[in-house]
Chain A
Amino acid sequence: AQTVTQSQPEMSVQEAETVTLSCTYDTSESDYYLFWYKQPPSRQMILVIRQEAYKQQNATENRFSVNFQKAAKSFSLKISDSQLGDAAMYFCAYRSARWRVEYGNKLVFGAGTILRVKS
């Protein structure tokens, strides 16, 4: 079974600085998706960024970028120019790209990292 590990329960960053959130995962598959979701105090889960495993290029969305190391099974999220609105719980998630009934295309989530932004 696939597992996702986020080893940092909490992180802090100064406003305008850069912070990196770590994520590792375990899978025997070669084709999959990886995601970072943000959960602000409102509790609504918001997709931050997506990475397809077959793509070597790291995904980027404005101030958010990832460092995808497939061989190391590592998928970290870098937030540049941190803003107060970035304060949230961040979840790393994995999904197999193969259509298998027993997987149901479900997302497997890590335990989350709370990010605090200091002004």
Chain B
Amino acid sequence: DGGITQSPKYLFRKEGQNVTLSCEQNLNHDAMYWYRQDPGQGLRLIYYSQIVNDFQKGDIAEGYSVSREKKESFPLTVTSAQKNPTAFYLCASRTGVDTGELFFGEGSRLTVL
């Protein structure tokens, strides 16, 4: 079945540590996105990539980094520079056909201890 796989589902880290969240899709989608979800704030865009080897900052990119070396993969690194990293992270992708909608993974819950 085609879809988006995020891992791990739950992750704990100590302050000062970097952590990488995985996002893999087998939908052959060109564009991929990372969103952060906090209670009462909806989803906010961290980074997005329209094509391999290219990515752009979203609204809250500080303290995060990404790479897009393969079409299927768009990992997100939460660095120690991110002041408040505890959140739920959602990866999404979109086909090149402009239907507008995004397809989402099941998310990763990061907790900083």
User: Residues of A at under 8 Å CB distance from B?
Assistant: 4, 6, 9, 33, 35, 42-47, 50, 52, 91, 95, 97, 99, 101, 104-107, 109-112
Q: How far is the CA of A112 from the CA of B43 in the complex (A)?
A: 9
CB distance from B92 to the nearest CB of A (A): 8
Q: B48's contact among A43, A91, A104, by CB below 8 Å, is which?
A: A104
CB distance from B21 to the nearest CB of A (A): 14
> 19 other contacts beyond A104-B45, A104-B56, with CB at 8 A cut-off?
A9-B40, A33-B100, A43-B106, A43-B107, A44-B105, A44-B106, A44-B107, A45-B102, A47-B101, A52-B100, A101-B56, A104-B48, A104-B50, A105-B98, A106-B45, A107-B43, A107-B102, A109-B35, A109-B42
Return chain B residues, CB-CB under 8 Å to A112. Answer: 40, 42
Q: How far is the CA of A91 from the CA of B44 in the complex (A)?
A: 12
A-contact bits for B63-97, CB 8 A (1 contact / 0 none) = 00000000000000000000000001010101000
Q: How far is the CA of A33 from the CA of B102 in the complex (A)?
A: 12
Return chain B residues, CB-CB under 8 Å to A33. Answer: 100-101
In chain B, what residue has the closest Cβ to A101?
Answer: B56
B104 contacts A50, C-beta separation under 8 Å? no
* B31 adjacent to chain A (CB < 8 Å): yes
B48 contacts A106, C-beta separation under 8 Å? yes
In chain B, what residue has the closest Cβ to A91?
Answer: B42
Q: How far is the CA of A46 from the CA of B103 in the complex (A)?
A: 8
Q: How far is the CA of A9 from the CA of B41 in the complex (A)?
A: 11
Q: How far is the CA of A4 from the CA of B43 in the complex (A)?
A: 11
Q: B106's contact among A42, A47, A91, A107, by CB below 8 Å, is which?
A: A42
